[in-house]
Protein backbone atom coordinates (compact mmCIF):
# COMPACT_ATOMS: atom_id res chain seq x y z
CA UNK A 1 0.00 0.00 0.00
CA UNK A 2 1.09 3.59 -0.63
CA UNK A 3 3.04 5.25 2.16
CA UNK A 4 2.31 8.92 2.90
CA UNK A 5 4.80 11.37 4.43
CA UNK A 6 3.61 14.33 6.48
CA UNK A 7 4.60 16.52 9.40
CA UNK A 8 2.65 16.22 12.62
CA UNK A 9 2.06 17.26 16.20
CA UNK A 10 0.56 14.73 18.60
CA UNK A 11 -2.75 15.88 20.10
CA UNK A 12 -3.58 12.75 22.06
CA UNK A 13 -2.31 9.22 22.73
CA UNK A 14 -4.51 6.31 23.84
CA UNK A 15 -3.05 2.98 24.94
CA UNK A 16 -4.42 0.04 22.96
CA UNK A 17 -3.80 -3.63 23.67
CA UNK A 18 -0.55 -4.64 25.29
CA UNK A 19 1.92 -2.43 23.44
CA UNK A 20 0.11 -0.26 20.88
CA UNK A 21 -1.19 3.30 20.94
CA UNK A 22 -3.81 5.14 18.91
CA UNK A 23 -2.62 8.65 18.11
CA UNK A 24 -4.52 11.75 17.09
CA UNK A 25 -2.14 13.86 15.01
CA UNK A 26 -2.51 17.41 13.72
CA UNK A 27 -0.84 18.01 10.34
CA UNK A 28 -0.53 21.09 8.10
CA UNK A 29 -1.58 19.22 4.96
CA UNK A 30 -3.66 16.18 5.96
CA UNK A 31 -5.90 17.60 8.67
CA UNK A 32 -6.26 15.49 11.79
CA UNK A 33 -5.19 11.86 11.51
CA UNK A 34 -5.87 8.86 13.71
CA UNK A 35 -2.96 6.45 13.49
CA UNK A 36 -2.18 3.12 15.09
CA UNK A 37 1.39 3.00 16.43
CA UNK A 38 2.01 -0.72 16.79
CA UNK A 39 4.41 -1.86 19.49
CA UNK A 40 5.29 1.71 20.42
CA UNK A 41 5.11 1.05 24.16
CA UNK A 42 7.86 -1.55 23.95
CA UNK A 43 11.28 -0.42 25.17
CA UNK A 44 13.03 -0.85 21.82
CA UNK A 45 10.30 0.64 19.61
CA UNK A 46 11.69 2.69 16.73
CA UNK A 47 8.50 4.74 16.59
CA UNK A 48 8.56 6.09 20.15
CA UNK A 49 11.12 8.87 19.66
CA UNK A 50 9.05 10.65 17.06
CA UNK A 51 5.69 10.73 18.80
CA UNK A 52 6.49 12.58 22.00
CA UNK A 53 4.13 15.31 23.16
CA UNK A 54 5.30 18.90 22.65
CA UNK A 55 7.21 17.92 19.51
CA UNK A 56 7.03 18.22 15.74
CA UNK A 57 7.94 15.15 13.69
CA UNK A 58 8.06 13.71 10.20
CA UNK A 59 5.56 10.84 10.06
CA UNK A 60 5.15 8.12 7.46
CA UNK A 61 1.87 6.23 7.52
CA UNK A 62 -0.45 4.02 5.49
CA UNK A 63 -4.11 4.90 5.19
CA UNK A 64 -6.47 2.32 6.65
CA UNK A 65 -9.72 1.05 5.23
CA UNK A 66 -11.51 2.67 8.16
CA UNK A 67 -10.72 5.86 10.00
CA UNK A 68 -7.47 4.63 11.57
CA UNK A 69 -4.26 4.42 9.55
CA UNK A 70 -1.01 2.69 10.48
CA UNK A 71 2.11 4.59 11.48
CA UNK A 72 5.14 3.21 9.65
CA UNK A 73 8.05 5.44 10.74
CA UNK A 74 8.80 8.65 12.62
CA UNK A 75 11.63 11.17 12.72
CA UNK A 76 11.77 13.92 15.30
CA UNK A 77 12.08 17.46 13.91
CA UNK A 78 12.03 19.42 17.17
CA UNK A 79 11.25 18.61 20.77
CA UNK A 80 10.30 21.60 22.93
CA UNK A 81 12.16 20.36 25.97
CA UNK A 82 11.86 23.62 27.88
CA UNK A 83 8.14 22.96 28.34
CA UNK A 84 8.57 19.70 30.22
CA UNK A 85 11.04 21.25 32.67
CA UNK A 86 8.23 23.34 34.19
CA UNK A 87 5.16 21.54 35.51
CA UNK A 88 2.96 24.63 35.15
CA UNK A 89 3.91 24.95 31.47
CA UNK A 90 3.29 21.25 30.94
CA UNK A 91 -0.21 21.60 32.40
CA UNK A 92 -0.90 24.69 30.28
CA UNK A 93 0.42 22.93 27.19
CA UNK A 94 -1.88 19.94 27.81
CA UNK A 95 -4.84 22.25 28.24
CA UNK A 96 -4.20 24.21 25.04
CA UNK A 97 -3.70 21.01 23.04
CA UNK A 98 -7.03 19.70 24.34
CA UNK A 99 -8.75 22.98 23.48
CA UNK A 100 -7.49 22.87 19.92
CA UNK A 101 -8.40 19.21 19.54
CA UNK A 102 -11.98 19.85 20.71
CA UNK A 103 -12.32 23.00 18.59
CA UNK A 104 -11.31 21.40 15.28
CA UNK A 105 -12.98 18.97 12.90
CA UNK A 106 -11.14 16.30 10.91
CA UNK A 107 -9.94 18.75 8.24
CA UNK A 108 -8.78 21.91 10.03
CA UNK A 109 -6.99 24.52 7.95
CA UNK A 110 -3.16 24.65 8.11
CA UNK A 111 -3.30 27.76 10.32
CA UNK A 112 -4.24 25.59 13.29
CA UNK A 113 -1.00 23.68 12.93
CA UNK A 114 0.94 26.95 12.70
CA UNK A 115 -0.81 28.25 15.82
CA UNK A 116 0.13 25.20 17.87
CA UNK A 117 3.71 25.24 16.60
CA UNK A 118 4.11 28.93 17.49
CA UNK A 119 2.55 28.32 20.90
CA UNK A 120 5.04 25.55 21.65
CA UNK A 121 7.84 27.94 20.71
CA UNK A 122 6.66 30.48 23.28
CA UNK A 123 6.01 27.89 25.98
CA UNK A 124 9.54 26.58 25.41
CA UNK A 125 10.95 30.02 26.27
CA UNK A 126 10.99 30.59 30.08
CA UNK A 127 11.16 34.35 29.53
CA UNK A 128 7.62 34.36 28.08
CA UNK A 129 4.80 34.80 30.58
CA UNK A 130 2.42 31.85 30.62
CA UNK A 131 -0.69 34.05 31.01
CA UNK A 132 0.22 35.95 27.86
CA UNK A 133 0.79 32.72 25.93
CA UNK A 134 -2.63 31.44 26.94
CA UNK A 135 -4.32 34.68 25.92
CA UNK A 136 -2.57 34.79 22.56
CA UNK A 137 -3.50 31.18 21.84
CA UNK A 138 -7.14 31.62 22.83
CA UNK A 139 -7.54 34.80 20.79
CA UNK A 140 -6.13 33.14 17.67
CA UNK A 141 -8.29 30.07 18.24
CA UNK A 142 -11.34 32.31 18.35
CA UNK A 143 -10.28 34.04 15.16
CA UNK A 144 -9.68 30.77 13.31
CA UNK A 145 -13.12 29.57 14.40
CA UNK A 146 -14.67 32.71 12.92
CA UNK A 147 -15.55 34.43 16.18
CA UNK A 148 -13.24 37.45 16.36
CA UNK A 149 -14.83 40.51 17.99
CA UNK A 150 -15.53 43.74 16.13
CA UNK A 151 -12.51 45.93 16.89
CA UNK A 152 -13.34 48.69 14.41
CA UNK A 153 -16.77 50.06 15.36
CA UNK A 154 -18.84 49.96 18.53
CA UNK A 155 -22.23 48.31 19.00
CA UNK A 156 -23.96 51.40 17.56
CA UNK A 157 -21.83 51.40 14.41
CA UNK A 158 -19.64 54.32 15.43
CA UNK A 159 -15.88 54.17 15.01
CA UNK A 160 -14.06 53.24 18.24
CA UNK A 161 -12.62 56.45 19.72
CA UNK A 162 -9.34 56.97 21.57
CA UNK A 163 -10.83 59.02 24.41
CA UNK A 164 -13.86 56.81 25.04
CA UNK A 165 -14.27 54.00 27.58
CA UNK A 166 -16.35 50.89 26.85
CA UNK A 167 -17.97 47.76 28.15
CA UNK A 168 -18.30 44.65 25.99
CA UNK A 169 -21.54 43.33 24.51
CA UNK A 170 -21.18 39.58 23.98
CA UNK A 171 -24.37 39.33 21.91
CA UNK A 172 -23.05 41.90 19.44
CA UNK A 173 -19.39 40.84 19.90
CA UNK A 174 -18.60 44.55 20.03
CA UNK A 175 -17.80 47.28 22.54
CA UNK A 176 -20.48 49.60 23.90
CA UNK A 177 -19.64 53.18 24.99
CA UNK A 178 -19.91 53.74 28.74
CA UNK A 179 -18.70 56.76 30.77
CA UNK A 180 -17.03 54.51 33.35
CA UNK A 181 -16.43 51.52 31.09
CA UNK A 182 -13.92 48.80 31.88
CA UNK A 183 -12.07 48.92 28.56
CA UNK A 184 -9.97 51.78 27.15
CA UNK A 185 -8.23 52.45 23.86
CA UNK A 186 -5.12 50.65 25.17
CA UNK A 187 -7.12 47.47 25.75
CA UNK A 188 -8.62 47.65 22.26
CA UNK A 189 -5.19 48.24 20.67
CA UNK A 190 -3.88 45.15 22.46
CA UNK A 191 -6.83 43.08 21.30
CA UNK A 192 -6.15 44.13 17.71
CA UNK A 193 -2.67 42.67 18.08
CA UNK A 194 -3.97 39.48 19.69
CA UNK A 195 -6.38 38.90 16.81
CA UNK A 196 -3.98 40.08 14.08
CA UNK A 197 -1.80 38.28 11.52
CA UNK A 198 1.38 39.09 13.45
CA UNK A 199 3.27 36.08 14.80
CA UNK A 200 2.70 35.24 18.44
CA UNK A 201 6.32 36.05 19.24
CA UNK A 202 6.03 39.50 17.62
CA UNK A 203 3.00 40.32 19.75
CA UNK A 204 4.66 38.98 22.90
CA UNK A 205 7.50 41.50 22.39
CA UNK A 206 5.21 44.56 22.50
CA UNK A 207 6.18 46.68 25.47
CA UNK A 208 3.58 46.95 28.23
CA UNK A 209 1.22 44.35 26.80
CA UNK A 210 1.44 42.11 29.87
CA UNK A 211 0.11 45.00 32.00
CA UNK A 212 -3.29 44.57 30.32
CA UNK A 213 -3.71 40.84 30.93
CA UNK A 214 -5.80 41.06 34.10
CA UNK A 215 -8.56 42.86 32.21
CA UNK A 216 -8.29 41.17 28.81
CA UNK A 217 -7.76 37.52 29.77
CA UNK A 218 -11.26 37.02 31.30
CA UNK A 219 -12.85 38.74 28.29
CA UNK A 220 -11.16 36.49 25.74
CA UNK A 221 -11.76 33.36 27.81
CA UNK A 222 -15.47 34.12 28.09
CA UNK A 223 -15.66 34.60 24.32
CA UNK A 224 -13.92 31.27 23.78
CA UNK A 225 -16.19 29.38 26.16
CA UNK A 226 -19.30 31.00 24.71
CA UNK A 227 -18.61 30.58 21.01
CA UNK A 228 -16.08 27.78 20.53
CA UNK A 229 -17.28 25.63 23.44
CA UNK A 230 -13.93 24.25 24.48
* Tens-place pLDDT, residues 115-130: 999 999 999 999 999 9
Q: 165-220 pLDDT, tens per residue? A: 999 999 999 999 999 999 999 999 999 999 999 999 999 999 999 999 999 999 99
pLDDT above 80 (res 151): yes
Model pTM?
A: 0.94
pLDDT above 90 (res 106): no
> Tell me, what's the pLDDT at 70?
96
Segment (H or E) for 154: none
Q: 39-61 pLDDT, tens per residue? A: 999 988 999 989 999 999 999 99
pLDDT bucket at 64, cuts 50 / 70 / 90: confident
Instruction: Report in angstroms the alpha-carbon separations of 19 from 141, 198, 224.
Output: 34, 43, 37
> Tell me, what's the pLDDT at 166?
98
What are the start-end ranges of the E strands in the chain? 3-16, 20-26, 32-37, 55-62, 68-79, 166-169, 174-177
Amino acid sequence: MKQILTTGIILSRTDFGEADRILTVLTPDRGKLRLMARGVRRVKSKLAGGIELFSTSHLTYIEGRGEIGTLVSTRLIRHYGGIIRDIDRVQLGYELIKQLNRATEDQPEPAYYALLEQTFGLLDDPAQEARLIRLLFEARLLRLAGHAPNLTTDSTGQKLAAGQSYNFDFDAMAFTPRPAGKFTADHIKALRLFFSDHSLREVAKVQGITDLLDVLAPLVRTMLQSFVRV
